[in-house]
Amino acid sequence: MAEPSTRTVERALQLLGSVCDAGFLTLADAARGTELSASTALRLLRTLESAGFVRKDDEGAYRPGLRIVQLGAQALSHESIISLAEPALERIVEATGESAYVNVRAHHGPGGEHGLYIAMREGTHSVRHSSWVGRTVPMEGSASGAVLSGKTPKAGYVVVDRGVEADVTAIAAPIAVEMHAPDGTTTGTRVIAALSIVAPSYRMNPEKIKAIGELVAEEAHNVLTAYQQENQP
């Protein structure tokens, strides 16, 4: 029962991922990237196309289709953590002017574990961080990755300067629930998401970082409270 996966579907999904990653791909490129024969790639891409998951542009290249957009938006709307976190994001932006994000652990894919940005509230500064929603970041070397891994110091937040991108500072705090065994004993904590801000480093300084870090940690706790209220009564 190790891997009762269907190869055809796996290949098709891989193809779909390639197209979305690249933005647009020619048939030959897609076939090379997934190590499929051209005929197989063509057949699968056509299937994806007829279902609306990819489409061919004017130049004949394959692009992400609208069905992906639709399903992605639907999926997002079903992620309750996002709507719960939205007020917190808004308050963080209001207080700091920087873009604020919600991160979760991404599906464990090739290349190790990653975090995924699933929601954002844009900052108000004219020089601000543009959207990273949909982007993944490695767990090591990123602030949100650290808190998602459970490596949060007692301060309650993590700061990473120039981690995943130069000249950018990230501050993240975990939204973590306690896990209980059936008998009620606490078995540890599980980080369900992270709240983070991403800002140009030149605008930061130790005091500001401390203030923002404490704010993010506090808001993360507020989100946790809202989350528990929704899942307990």
Q: What is the contact surface with DNA in residues (CB under 7 A)?
A: 1, 4, 6-9, 11, 26-29, 31, 36-40, 42-44, 60-61
Query: Pick from 203, 118, 116, 209: which is nearest to 159 by CA?
Result: 209
Q: Using the 8-state DSSP alphabet, how is residue 95 labeled?
A: H
How large is the greatest C-alpha to C-alpha distance in the chain, in angstroms? 62
Residue from 37, 60, 78, 233 in contact with a copy of itself (CB under 8 A): 78
**Among 18-26, 164-172, 192-200, 221-229, which window interacts with a copy of itself (CB under 8 A)?**
18-26
229 lines the binding site for a copy of itself (CB under 8 A):
no
Which residues have C-beta within 8 Å of that of residue 82, sequence separation ≥ 6? 76, 102, 118, 119
137 lines the binding site for a copy of itself (CB under 8 A):
no
Residue from 36, 41, 118, 139 in contact with a copy of itself (CB under 8 A): 118
Sign of the Cα torsion 71, 73, 77, 79 reads positive
Q: In the numeric block, which tokens belong to residue 197?
A: 């801000």
Our CB check for DNA shows the closer of 43 and 67 to be 43
Our CB check for DNA shows the closer of 31 and 102 to be 31
Using CB under 8 A, which residues numbered 56 to 75 contact a copy of itself?
63-75
Q: Using the 8-state DSSP alphabet, how is residue 109 labeled?
A: B
Q: How far is the CB of 182 from DNA (least distance, A)?
A: 13
User: What is the rounded distance in angstroms from the CA atom of residue 107 to the CA atom of residue 109?
Assistant: 6
Q: How far is the CB of 74 from DNA (least distance, A)?
A: 21
**Is 121 in contact with 131 (CB distance < 8 Å)?**
no
In which element (H, E) is residue 163 found?
none
The contact set with a copy of itself (CB under 8 A) reads 3-6, 8-10, 12-14, 16-17, 20-21, 23-24, 43-44, 46-48, 50-53, 55, 63-79, 104, 106-109, 116-118, 131, 133-136
